[in-house]
C-alpha cells in the first residue's frame, strides 16, 4: 500500500502506520512507552493498546525488527505467466 496522504486513511489505519513508523525509528529496543513518546513527539497519538501490541510483536520476533525489514535482493514472487 502506497500512502501519499493521511486524509484517506481510517483512524485505525493511521494508528497502524504511526505505530509501524515509530518501531522503525526506535529499532529493536522498542517498548510501549518509547513508542508512545515517539508518536507524541511527532504530533501523533498512539493508544496504549497499540503501543503494547506493536512492541510485543517486535520483541517476540526471532530477529526483532529485522524480521519485518528484509534486505535487498530478498526475492519476490515470480511472474505470472
Give the pLDDT confidence of 48-62 residue by residue, as tens digits.
Answer: 999 998 888 888 777
Neighbours of 68 (CB within 10 A): 13
pLDDT at residue 27 in the model = 81
pLDDT at residue 5 in the model = 75
> Which of these ranges, 2-6, 26-30, 42-46, has the smallest mean pLDDT?
2-6
SS3 assignment for the chain? CCCCCHHHCCHHHHHHHHHHHHHHHHCCCCCHHHHHHHHHHCCCCCCHHHHHHHHHHHHHCCCHHHHHCCCCCCCCCCCCC
Binning pLDDT at 50, 70 and 90, where does residue 68 land? low
62-77 mean pLDDT: 67
Residue with cell 511527532: 42
Amino acid at each position: 500500500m502506497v500512502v501519499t496522504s493521511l486524509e484517506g486513511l481510517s483512524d485505525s489505519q493511521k494508528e497502524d502506520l504511526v505505530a509501524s513508523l515509530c518501531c522503525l525509528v526506535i529499532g529493536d529496543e522498542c517498548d510501549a512507552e518509547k513508542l508512545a513518546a515517539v508518536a507524541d513527539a511527532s504530533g501523533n497519538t498512539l493508544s496504549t493498546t497499540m503501543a503494547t501490541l506493536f512492541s510485543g510483536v517486535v520483541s517476540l520476533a526471532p530477529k526483532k525488527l529485522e524480521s519485518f525489514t528484509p534486505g535487498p535482493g530478498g526475492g519476490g514472487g515470480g511472474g505470472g505467466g
